[in-house]
Amino acid sequence: MTASPVLFDQRGGLGLITLNRPRQLNALSFEMLQLIDERVNAWLADPSIRQLALVGAGERGLCAGGDIAESRDAIESGHVEKFYRFLAFEYHLDARLHESPKPYVTLMDGITFGGGIGLGAHASHRVVTERSRLAMPETRIGFLTDVGGSWRLAEMPGEVGMHVGLTAGHFGAGDAIAGGFADHFVPSAALPELLTRLETEPADAAIAAVAEAAPEAILLAQRDWIDRAYARDSVPEVLAALDELAASGVEPAGEAAATIRDMSPTSLAVVHRLIREARAEPGLRPALAREYRVGMHLATRPDFAEGIRARIVDKDNQPRWEPARIEDVTAELIDELFETDATAPLFG
């Protein structure tokens, strides 16, 4: 018998959700989202369940993001509406868990990318460990920073979030806590004890019993050059600033510029605008609505399919972006991508 892709267990007053696709690094399928939604509905109505927790099966991480193969199949088979439904359902679930009337504890141990951020980084109690690696890597595959990630990046101090968003950068526990993606640092060896305590103790007390001081925030320590480079009105201006800093001897700026130039130019322009708009109108639901609107358009553009081919399927890491240069991404194109598509189902 095939194991369920999500496991549910009531342990005392704790409702434990386990993402159970360790070979796929717990990548989220539509079935998984539906299973979680159904059980969360039941547990929120059950007075014997006092709080919820989310973990990932296996040793590698909580969740690598959405199931790219499932999304690609839906789009390439001409059933893009299935992908729209996946996004809408995922975003509704992210918002619902964020607004849960019961404490919701997420253990973002190991890799937590993309859709894992959606389930993990909007919880009431967010735990990271020395193994945590968080990222919003969507510009690598021609998509956009979504699941509310644009709002979380916008809330990071200075321009660190813009740097992370444009470079699809990874960060660890220290930056996750200092940057607003997490709340508590717990050594991975103490996670079993934490889950046991959550069966009988309130989340705040259970976490306090095992939490330790957060590690250093590595990215935030580089805010000087990051803020100087990324406080610009467009991605080409950011790249020019990074090039100038690199020429003056700031080596990480040169590395960032090279990384950005490898990303989808259209996605870069989209993420830059999403983060700017999230600063002007903060909050998870406004961010999700913007991301959904743009995501519907990007799903059918060449870069998304090409990014998946180059990064995930063929793994040649030689994507052929359209347009190929950030300088060729017009303001008119980006405006079109931010328009509402009246033919598609809406989030919000």
180 catalytic per annotation: no
Give CA–CA dist 326/119, Å, rounded: 31
175 catalytic per annotation: no
Kindly compute the dihedral angle of the four CA atoms of residues 104, 105, 109, 112, in this order, to the nearest 10 degrees: 20
Cα 270 to Cα 108, 170, 173, 277, distances in angstroms: 27, 19, 27, 11
Choose the catalytic residue: 90, 94, 146, 159.
146
Across 305-340, b (16+ Cβ under 10 Å) vs e yields bbbbbbbeeeeeeebebeeeebeebeeeeeeebeee
Choose the catalytic residue: 56, 65, 66, 110.
66
Choose the catalytic residue: 138, 159, 183, 201.
138
Give CA–CA dist 345/327, Å, rounded: 32
Choose the catalytic residue: 15, 115, 179, 307.
115
146 catalytic per annotation: yes
Asked if 136 and 149 touch (Cβ cutoff 8 Å), the reply is yes
115 catalytic per annotation: yes
Backbone angles phi, psi at 126, to 5 degrees: -115, 120
By annotation, the residues acting in catalysis are 66, 115, 138, 146
